[in-house]
Amino acid sequence: MESEKGTQQMQEAVDFTFDELVEELATVVDRLASLERSKWMLEKRIVHLMMDRGATVAKTETHEVEIRGSVTYDVSILARLREITDPEDLERIYYPEHEEVVRRPEKWNMTSGRKLAKFSHEHAAIIEDAKIYGNPKVSLRLRE
C-alpha cells in the first residue's frame, strides 16, 4: 500500500515543472525537519516518564517501547580489579596501556591535489582518469 502511494507521488512529481519540483522539495525538507524536532521532543518525554517509573520497557495496546542506553566505565576505578583478580582471569578482559602500530593505506588530498593538473597535460589526464563519480546530491538553499 505504501509503495503504491509512493509510486503515485513519484508519477505526480514527473508532471511538475522544474520550479514546482524545487518548491515541493523545499516543502518536504521543512516537513522532515519539523518531524525530526517532534520525534526528538516525544522521545525525550517518553524517556522522562519511563525513568520516573523506573521502567526500561513499556507497552501500549499497539506498541512496545524500550529504552536502550550505553554504559561506560571509569577506568581509574576498574584499575582496582587488577589488585584483587588473578592475572589469568584478566587475560581476555584487561589490556594494559600499549602502543599499536597501524598500517594505513595511502591517501591523497585531492582538494589540494587538483592543483597538480597545472603541471602538465599528463598530470591533468591522470587526475581526470582517477575520478570516480558518486551519486549526485541535491543541495537546497532558500534564496533571499
Cα of 8 vs its chain's centroid, Å: 29
Nearest to 29 by CA among 144, 142, 143: 142
| pLDDT at res. 12 | 66
Grid look-up 515541493 returns 24
For every residue of the chain, DSSP letters joined together read: -HHHHHHHHHHHHHTS-HHHHHHHHHHHHHHHHHHHHHHHHHHHHHHHHHHHHT-SEEE-SS-EEE--------HHHHHHHHHHS-GGGGTTT----------------HHHHGGGGGT-HHHHHHHHHH--------------
| pLDDT at res. 6 | 61
Give the pLDDT confidence of 32-55 residue by residue, as tens digits.
999 999 999 999 999 999 999 999
- Phi, psi for 3 (deg, rounded to 5): -65, -35
Residues of the chain falling short of pLDDT 70: 1-13
Q: How many Å apart are CA 142 and CA 144, to the nearest integer?
A: 6
